[in-house]
Structure 1
Amino acid sequence: MPRTSDTALLVIDAQESFRQRPDDWAATANPQVFDNIALLVEHARAAGDAVVWVTHAEPGTGGVFDPDSGFVRVVAELDPRADEIHVTKTTVNAFTSTDLQAQLVARGVGTVVVCGIRTEQCCETTARVAGDLGFAVEFVTDATTTSPIAAGPGYAALSGEDLMRRTESVLGAREFAVITTTAHRVRAAAAV
């Protein structure tokens, strides 16, 4: 279906690399993240929205984010299409190390919908940069997930759930993004 909307769904780092860290992945705050992302993708496609698949790579590190590991790929159950936008970033946000902004502008995109892995890192940072670049931003928190942060020198431990709520509060209250849910976004897409 040709794209008919000025909206793009950004699926951030929903990649196999994270599942290759079993202790970290077992502690994820939102085990339903891929189900919610799949719903958003299905409805974005039906609405004619662009779907953007963003992966994170750390070339030359030898770890699970090194492209040579074979894990820097979108998880199979999300079934990305070859004709959708695919970018691989080497920075926390999806814009700085890619041509994503140019691709979105060329398609007439004015609104981005953010979902994916690492709520408070890659997803939140991408949302903030998108806003700085002039895009309207919707942040679908229940289609994101993260893992707890252990206490360290100068900072307290935070659960994944606390990190997700903190991100909602900061992005929403400071008007960086409209905070929404998968169910609301799917209903909105279906109503159009």
Structure 2
Amino acid sequence: MNRAALVVIDVQESFRQRPIWAYGSNPDMIRQVDRLVAAARQRGDLVVWVLHSEPGTGGLFDPALGYVRLIDGLVPAQDEPTLVKTAHNAFTTTNLQQLLTQAGITDITVCGIRTEQCVETTTRVGADLGYRMTFVTDATLTFPIPHRALPDTATVAEILADPRTLTNEEIVTRTEYALAGRFATIRTVDELVGATVVGSGG
């Protein structure tokens, strides 16, 4: 029998403090994550929350600043673990794999921030570890990516004006192409929530 888990990655206040937040790919992401969480709870799936931390850096991911916490409105249930990672993927610097093994998890659904970074990287590592991965694109969020030659001091306006900048749409498309058929099945929130609603009546 397959047992499933939903892993919610880095949906934290750190990102909302960045000027680029207003240009995110998916303004509806928080509601979509909330729908996935509700559906997972209804099915009895394990829900795991993951936060990203960069201690001692003085940046927005330094826990000393107080932003390494879930975005307001997302609240774990009492029995849902919250893990704190310091690497891009959710496995390397946490006990996520141990938790999943103890719970007998074979299938993982992932969502969160950023689409092509921590969520995609977690998906790739999870697939390599033998889990059946589901990537829910419309419950992820990303931001335009500047060209490597653009200085770190570039403003949001400069990033958006640079023709070399990867747009949100390009990032999402590339991520789906890279993952589908190799590392994960791409699904939508409506597909997963709909399956729960249909299944709950039988």
Structure 1 length-normalised TM = 0.93
Indicate which of 112, 126, 129 corresponds to 2:108: 112
Q: Runs in 1 of length 4+ with deviation above 4 angstroms?
A: none
Residue 186 of structure 2: aligned partner: 179
Q: CA deviation at 1:89?
A: 0.3
Residue 136 of structure 1: aligned partner: 132
Unaligned runs of 5+ in 2: 151-163
Give the share of equivalent positions with the same residue, in percent: 49
Residue 159 of structure 2: aligned partner: none
The one-letter amino acid paired with 2:166 is L
8 Å Cα contact 1:47-1:190 kept in structure 2:
no
Q: Residue 76 of structure 1: SS of its match in structure 2?
A: coil
The one-letter amino acid paired with 1:172 is A
For the residues of structure 2 that align with 1:72 and 1:189, how far apart are their CA atoms? 31
Residue 198 of structure 2: aligned partner: 191
Higher mean C-alpha displacement, 38-47 vs 70-79: 70-79
Aligned residue pair count: 187
Is 1:47 matched up with 2:47?
no
Is 1:62 matched up with 2:58?
yes
Residue 153 of structure 2: aligned partner: none
The one-letter amino acid paired with 1:158 is L
8 Å Cα contact 1:58-1:65 kept in structure 2:
yes
Q: Residue 180 of structure 2: SS of its match in structure 1?
A: helix
Note the aligned Cα RMSD (angstroms).
1.7
For the residues of structure 1 that align with 2:89 and 2:141, how far apart are their CA atoms? 16
The one-letter amino acid paired with 2:36 is L
For the residues of structure 2 that align with 1:102 and 1:115, how far apart are their CA atoms? 20
Structure ID, larger Rg:
2
Equivalent residues in 2 for 1:1-192 (5 A)?
A: 6-21=3-18, 23-153=19-149, 156-173=164-181, 175-192=182-199
Q: CA deviation at 1:5?
A: 6.8
Q: CA deviation at 1:152?
A: 2.9
Q: CA deviation at 1:160?
A: 1.4
Unaligned runs of 5+ in 1: none
Residue 155 of structure 2: aligned partner: none
8 Å Cα contact 1:74-1:80 kept in structure 2:
no
